[in-house]
Amino acid sequence: MGEVSKLLADYGPAFGQALLLTWKLTALSFVPGFLLGMVVTVLRLLPLPPLRFVLTVYVEIFRNIPSVALLIFIVFALPDLNVLIDYEPSVILTLMLVCSAFTADYLRAGINTIPGGQMEAALSLGMRPIRVIYSIVLPQALRAVVQPMTSLLIALMLSTSLASQVPFPGRELTALVSKIANDSAAGIAAFAVAAAMYVATGLLIAWAGATLEKKVRILR
């Protein structure tokens, strides 16, 4: 405990800034990733086989490729194609693409839980397909995938450690631990503090997700 106290006395503000950067990266990648996943989900419902095929390939690629491999491609391969992206946007783009693929996959599973009779009834009443999707299908699918999306948000938060693999402007938690371990003998204590912050953030997200699920849960 003495070593941790001394570490916090020396690096307390740095840990605070690193935690805020971790939260920032999480939010900036999750929100657009979630919205993009919703768009992909809606487009996959349209009766256009070529579009469905392309979007299915998109989901499968970004759902199965390792995040670090995708980041390396964006940072080191795209410049060869004359596409230059700064390090921070590269990390956010990487996490956003992965998030969108998993979001689309989870929403599709949520849509599969909706009885087909509801959509058939809506169509028989004269509602347009796109109106059925936005008014009936998506709201129920979103309510059904609160827990999977909560788990995805936690995984995304942990994946912000990708920023430690590139010359990132600022240090998130993992990068800060690496710096402390290189500069001093307090690496283990630094890891313990960072792990506690990751765990606390994950528990907070899990609590928020459980609370939201109770409010929107569909009783059958």
HEC profile for 57-89? Answer: HHHHHHHHCCHHHHHHHHHHHHHHHCCCCCHHH
Within the chain, what is the greatest distance between any pair of CA atoms? 71
- Residue ranges in the chain whose pLDDT is less than 70: 1-2, 116, 118-119, 122-123, 126, 218-220
Sign of the alpha-carbon dihedral angle for 211, 119, 59, 88: negative
Contact 43, 181 (CB under 8 A): no
Per-residue pLDDT, 170: 74
| E strand or H helix at 119 | helix 116-124
Q: What does the pLDDT read at residue 190? A: 84
pLDDT score, position 197: 93
Comparing C-alpha atoms, which of 74, 99, 213 is closest to residue 156? 99
CB proximity list for 193: less than 8 A, separation 6 or greater: 4, 7, 8, 15
pTM of the full structure: 0.89
